Amino acid sequence: DAGITQSPRHKVTETGTPVTLRCHQTENHRYMYWYRQDPGHGLRLIHYSYGVKDTDKGEVSDGYSVSRSKTEDFLLTLESATSSQTSVYFCAISETGQYNEQFFGPGTRLTVL
C-alpha cells in the first residue's frame, strides 16, 4: 500500500470555525490531490499540487485553500466551515501526472454542525 496518512480521521466542528486537514505521504511523489466524496456525486477534485508550493484549483474549490511547503505534506483548510462542507475528504498521490493511477489515503470524515 502507498504510504499515505490523513489526520484527523474524524472531526466534528461548528459552522464558522476554521478547520485544517492534513495529508502526509512517505512515497516522495510529486503530485498530491484533495477530493471530497458526497452521495450522488462520486469523488470531486477540490485542489491539487504539482510540486512544492505549486497548487491550483479543482472543480469544487470555493471555501477551501491548500498549502504545500514540503513534498510530503499537503494541507487542506476550510477557512470558515459551513454545513455544506460536511463530507468525506480523501487525499491522493501520484508519481507522475498523466496516464498514471492515483493512490488514495484512508479519508477524513468531517461533520460541520
Partner 1 sequence: DQQVKQNSPSLSVQEGRISILNCDYTNSMFDYFLWYKKYPAEGPTFLISISSIKDKNEDGRFTVFLNKSAKHLSLHIVPSQPGDSAVYFCAASTTLTGTASKLTFGTGTRLQVTL
Of residues 52-81, those binding partner 1 (CB under 8 A): 54, 56, 58-59
Instruction: Give yes or no for residue 103 binding partner 1 (CB under 8 A).
Output: yes
Among the candidate windows 13-21, 51-59, 69-77, 79-87, which touches partner 1 by CB under 8 A? 51-59
Output the DSSP codes for 36-83. EEETTTEEEEEEEEEETTEEEE-TT-TTEEEEEEETTEEEEEESS--G
Residues lying near partner 1 in the complex (CB under 8 A) are found at 4, 31, 33, 35, 40-45, 48-51, 54, 56, 58-59, 90, 92, 94, 96-107
